[in-house]
């Protein structure tokens, strides 16, 4: 793969169907060499992962700072309704498992928001996340002409999880789903799961952040490193495939 070209498509052939008979015919010395190479690749990947985690941490810290600034500005704005302010408090504490001190009666746990891109022809406010939901209400809110739908998890009668789904004001093709609570049962089905775009709070920050950095060079560097590590070593891809198929421990370390 030529990462220096303008082609932004990125595919990795993991060689997921290696012939184990071929592997068995490889001399022992070569296997040792491959093992050493794999360890080196593993080190590289570990280093990359560490770097990514550090970048994520710094971005997360930056995000929290920006959100705090953003909320302080909005608190001073008299244009917002009282309920909207309450929602901002709620979003501020999303995923932090902190209840608002102003609302001790209402304990919100594990609140998360996801955005899901839909096709323009798809007018249904349905987010396929693998769980079974029963719609129990719909309301048109003041700040959004699109109706907000209220769902309860219907897979288990005792499951307390609720979901609100509403189309985004900025982009009607984007469904914003807010989940409250935690499922007390396993995921019934992994099939037909709609891939969420990203946490809504992160979206705003990332849009600004990505304007400030050289995304092209960053992406090219990352892609080049990952592609090089993964594709130049057939043994690595064979080992990955073996691990996936459950044969990883057949390797004699």
Partner DNA sequence: CGCATTTGACCTGCGC
Partner DNA sequence: GCGCAGGTCAAATGCG
Residue recorded with tokens 């130049």: 232
Q: How far is the CB of 149 from DNA (least distance, A)?
A: 7
Single residue of 83, 128, 185, 208 touching DNA by CB under 7 A: 83
Min CB(138)–DNA separation in Å: 3
**How far, in Å, are 44, 46, 48, 222, 225 from residue 51 at the CA level?**
11, 9, 5, 11, 13
Minimum separation from the CB atom of position 112 to DNA (A):
14
Residue list 141-160, contact with DNA (CB under 7 A): 141-143, 148-150, 154
**According to CB under 7 A, which one of 63, 164, 175, 239 is a site residue for DNA?**
164
Among 42, 58, 61, 81, binds DNA (CB under 7 A): 81
Number of residues that bind DNA (CB under 7 A): 27
Supply the minimum distance, in Å, between the C-beta of residue 78 and DNA: 7
What span, in angstroms and rounded, lies between the C-alpha atoms of 35 and 38?
A: 5
Nearest to 24 by CA among 245, 238, 229: 238
- Give min distance, CB of 119 to DNA, in A: 19
* 136 part of the interface to DNA, by CB under 7 A: yes
> Considering the rule CB under 7 A, would residue 91 count as an interface residue with DNA?
no
83/91 Cα distance (integer angstroms): 12
Output phi, psi for 96, to 5 deg.
-95, -5
In angstroms, the CA 100 to CA 107 distance is 8
Q: Which of 8, 43, 57, 102 binds DNA (CB under 7 A)?
A: 102
Per residue, the 3-state secondary structure of 221-234, as one string, reads HHHHHHHHHHHCCH
List of residues contacting DNA (CB under 7 A): 81-87, 102-103, 105-106, 133-139, 141-143, 148-150, 154, 162, 164
């Amino acid at each position: 793969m030529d990462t220096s070209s303008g082609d932004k498509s990125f595919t990795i052939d993991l060689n997921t169907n290696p012939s184990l008979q071929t592997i068995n015919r490889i001399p022992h010395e070569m296997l040792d060499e491959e093992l050493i190479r794999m360890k080196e690749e593993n080190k590289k990947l570990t280093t990359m992962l560490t770097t990514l985690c550090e970048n994520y941490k710094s971005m997360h810290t930056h995000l929290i700072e920006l959100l705090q600034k953003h909320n302080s500005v909005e608190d001073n704005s008299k244009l917002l309704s009282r309920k909207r302010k309450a929602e901002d408090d709620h979003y501020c504490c999303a995923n932090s498992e902190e209840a608002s001190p102003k609302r001790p009666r209402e304990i919100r746990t594990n609140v998360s928001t996801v955005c899901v891109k839909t096709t323009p022809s798809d007018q249904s406010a349905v987010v396929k996340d693998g769980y079974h939901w029963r719609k129990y209400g719909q309301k048109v809110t003041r700040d959004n002409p699109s109706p907000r739908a209220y769902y309860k998890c219907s897979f288990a009668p005792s499951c307390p999880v609720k979901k609100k789904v509403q189309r985004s004001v900025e982009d009607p093709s984007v469904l914003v789903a807010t989940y409250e609570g935690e499922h007390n049962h396993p995921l019934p089905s992994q099939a037909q799961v709609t891939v969420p775009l990203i946490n809504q709070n992160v979206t705003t920050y990332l849009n600004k952040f990505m304007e400030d950095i050289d995304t092209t060079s960053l992406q090219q560097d990352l892609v080049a490193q990952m592609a090089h590590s993964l594709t130049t070593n057939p043994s690595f891809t064979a080992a990955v495939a073996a691990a996936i198929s459950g044969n990883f421990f057949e390797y004699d370390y």
